């Protein structure tokens, strides 16, 4: 089974991340750190509570079935800064999509990590029509490379897009990377957030399994598991 890591590595130079020594091997017999992590730093998952959407569910209430789904990748590579991403940009993926699947938008935007003026301030944005399409199609998880699905410098826009998605039952994962390594066929997408009581969101470990889904389904049927 081939596993592809889709997660940014956390480090102290990343916005919202800091740490300090708590124990050292020399003084205490083991190494440990105290971590200070913003709930939406790095690769992370949003909960409805983040923007007060719907039932305002919190991150620890995210079903594990949402954290592990069949997914598709849509190639929207190297859009212009601040570009709006629309349904027509999905290409053939829109025709193959099934309710309950997840959708990852490959923009190559993770190449700009470290350049805040571009990565954060001029990110490609999910348009309202694409957000509504995701809700109407029953997208389980919408995953993007930028640190947000919308313009973080425009409170009205960022609120509206999050309200459409989170309020419509679409879980959001932001800050993905390595989407260029994904195949142009369905695969298994996992995004496992920290289980934080009352959390508005949390860093998560995101990955793709390139196991053949058809083979896996056949083996499951042969085993009698339903």
pLDDT tens profile 134-192? 999 999 999 999 999 999 999 999 999 999 999 999 999 999 999 999 999 999 999 99
Q: What angle do CA 193, 195, 197 make, to 5 degrees?
A: 135
Residues 186/26, Cβ–Cβ less than 8 Å: no
| Residue 62 · residue 171 · CB < 8 Å | yes
Mean pLDDT of the chain: 93
pTM of the model: 0.92
Residue 213 pLDDT: 59
* Residues 108-125, mean pLDDT to the nearest whole number: 96
Residue 111 in tokens? 């190449």
Domain spans of the chain, in order of start: 11-38, 42-222
| Alpha-helical segments (H) within 68-154 | 93-96, 116-119, 128-136
What is the rounded CA–CA span in Å between residue 149 and residue 163?
11
Tokens linked to 160? 């509206």
CATH number of 42-222: 3.50.30.50
Write the CA distances from 30 to 10, 21, 27, 34, 153, integer angstroms.
21, 11, 8, 13, 43
What DSSP designation does 139 have? Answer: -
Q: What is the mean pLDDT of residues 21-36?
A: 97
pLDDT for 215 beyond 70: no
3-state secondary structure of 160: helix
Listed in sequence order, the residues at least 6 apart from 197 whose beta carbon sits closer than 8 Å to its beta carbon are 58, 60
Closest CA to 181 of 110, 115, 116, 93: 110
Q: What angle do CA 91, 192, 84 make, to 5 degrees?
A: 30
């Amino acid at each position: 089974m081939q596993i592809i890591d889709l997660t940014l590595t956390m480090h102290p130079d990343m916005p919202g991340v800091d740490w300090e020594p708590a124990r050292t091997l020399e003084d205490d017999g083991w190494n440990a750190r105290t971590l200070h992590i913003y709930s939406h730093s790095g690769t992370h998952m949003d909960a409805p509570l983040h923007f007060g959407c719907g039932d305002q569910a919190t991150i620890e209430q995210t079903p594990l079935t949402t954290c592990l789904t069949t997914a598709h990748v849509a190639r929207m590579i190297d859009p212009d800064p601040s570009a709006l991403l629309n349904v027509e940009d999905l290409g053939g993926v829109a025709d193959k999509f099934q309710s309950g699947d997840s959708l990852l938008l490959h923009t190559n935007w993770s190449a700009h990590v470290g350049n805040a003026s571009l990565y954060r301030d001029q990110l490609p944005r999910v348009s309202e029509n694409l957000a509504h399409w995701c809700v109407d199609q029953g997208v389980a998880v919408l995953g993007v490379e930028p640190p947000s699905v919308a313009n973080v410098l425009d409170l009205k826009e960022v609120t509206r897009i999050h309200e459409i998605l989170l309020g419509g039952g679409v879980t959001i994962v932001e800050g993905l990377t390595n989407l260029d390594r994904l195949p142009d066929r369905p695969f298994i997408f996992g995004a496992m957030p920290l289980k934080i009581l009352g959390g508005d969101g949390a860093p998560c470990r995101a990955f793709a399994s390139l196991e053949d889904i058809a083979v896996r389904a056949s083996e499951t049927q042969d085993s009698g598991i339903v």
